[in-house]
Amino acid sequence: MSHFTTINPATEAEIATYAWHGHHDVDRMIAAAAAAQRAWSTMPLERRLDALRTLGAVLSSHVDLAAHTITTEMGKPLSQARAEVEKCVTACDYYVQHAIEILAEQKVPTDYRRSAVRFEPLGVILSIMPWNFPLWQFFRFVVPALAAGNGVLLKHAPSTTGSALLATRLCHIAGIPEELVQTLIIDIPDVERVIADRRIRAVTFTGSTGGGAAVASLAGSYVKKCVLELGGSDAYIVCADADVAHAASQCVASRCINSGQSCIAAKRFIVDASIAEAFTEAVIGAMAAQTVGDPMLPDTTIGPMARLDLRDALIDQVHRSVAAGAQLAFPRDPLDHGQHRGWFIAPSVLAHVAGNHPAATEEIFGPVAAIMTASSDTEAITLANASRYGLGAAVFTSDPERAEHLVAQLDAGNVFVNGYVRSDARMPFGGVKDSGYGRELGPFGLREFVNVKSVITI
């Protein structure tokens, strides 16, 4: 095979076919990106930010086109796809307002005549992005990378190649040089060749832990900086004094975002035993209220899984969890969703999940909630931190001191209190343990891909 074919997961119909770039094409694209980056890096920061301001306007004017492309390729409900594109605008807005301050030279008091720290671009960065948020994952990286003066080559997930090409085209419409931001249509075996190229200065990867480990190994072998945003199995601790209705509503809202296909979706609900029955009933009610169907329809809240293999893997995890002792509390069959075509699954609830069940030890990437019980806050923390992941977590309690005590003990890069975990352009985002390292967004995200240069005059 020398091409990618994209498929609509709601209809199983082919969308388009894209030929791979050959080695000669890739070499030419890297050379062009390197030359464009040198010119871009010498441009005054204010001019780079003008281009990013225009990019925000271009994204705003192309919301309908971009949302339709996302939904067609990976099945996200159209209203959520629109929200994804609109969120990309917030990244433009944030860095346009704050990049000058974040990148400003810092004076350091020493006994030298002059000592300062500068933040300068690294060069061309390879961006390897996933299918689940095909525009947001890219733009939350590319906006700060461009603000810092870098160039970008995008290798996107094959199933969302159309979204990748649209993302880079929107950059070009905004006046960002075509050579500076390009999409590489290459398969996994060709990734090493790109990382090995001396003109590629760093790599950023968002995706599975296994994929991240492979990319990190390659980046390390060629001494390239790497930022990894990987999987998660987010624990939501629901204390005995929590507002049960609110907690259940927030947990289900998080669990069902993007049809459950989100690294920071709520995945393990660790509930105080005294309220477990009431919480489980509330969660089942909220899951039953979800509308599974055509993602183009306005009332749909859960679309199809993005690929058939993803749906099959999720069903297997449910079956193995039930075989291990968990109870499928809702529905009787996750495949009983009323859809005759497409890769759909019914929103499901697993109760009585133990720490050694697949639903607790593996990342569940779909609309399946796993409910666990704890007899104390100490046990809840132990269950939450037992996961190899550490991306996000949430705590539901009416006691602020209790919340602070639990937040301090959670092994996670993001912790929310009385609400579900989400990314925000103003705040750093990333994880610990098998959820990766490095940060995106906020001031830290802008400084990930810069040379922190010390300058001293004796």
For residues 180-195, give the mean pLDDT: 97
Q: Report phi then psi at 156, rounded to 5.
A: -95, 170
What pTM value is reported for the model? Answer: 0.96
- Active site annotation includes 263: yes
Summarised one tens digit per residue, pLDDT across range 295-340 is 999 999 999 999 999 999 999 999 999 999 999 999 988 887 777 7
Tell me the C-alpha to C-alpha distance, in Å, between residue 403 and each of 237, 408, 420.
10, 9, 14
List the domain boundaries for the chain: 3-230+435-457, 234-424
Distance CA(49)–CA(52), nearest Å, equals 5
CB 66 within 8 A of CB 135: yes
Residue that wins the pLDDT comparison between 333 and 434: 434
Residue 173 is inside which H or E element, if any? helix 161-173
Mean pLDDT to the nearest integer, 256-279: 97
Confidence at residue 339, expressed as pLDDT on a 0 to 100 scale: 72
- Give the pLDDT confidence of 104-162 residue by residue, as tens digits: 999 999 999 999 999 999 999 999 999 999 999 999 999 999 999 999 999 999 999 99
Q: For the domain 3-230+435-457, what is the CATH code?
A: 3.40.605.10
pLDDT for position 340 = 73
229 is known as an active-site residue: yes
- The answer on pLDDT for 83 being more than 80 is yes
* CB-based burial label for 239 (10 Å; 0-12, 13-18, 19+): buried
Q: Any idea which residue has 């991240």 for tokens?
A: 212
| Tokens standing for residue 173 | 């419409």
Q: Is-same-fold flag (3-230+435-457; 234-424)?
A: no
- Please give the structure tokens belonging to residue 384: 């939450």
Angstrom distance (rounded) from CA 417 to CA 421 = 9
Q: Which of 179, 229, 440, 448 is catalytic?
A: 229
Residues 6+ apart with CB under 8 A from 230: 205, 206, 207, 208, 209, 211, 212, 263, 389, 391, 431, 434, 435, 436
Q: CATH for 234-424?
A: 3.40.309.10
pLDDT digits (tens, 9 = 90+) for 339-385: 779 999 999 999 999 999 999 999 999 999 999 999 999 999 999 99
List 73, 88, 263, 440, catalytic entry: 263
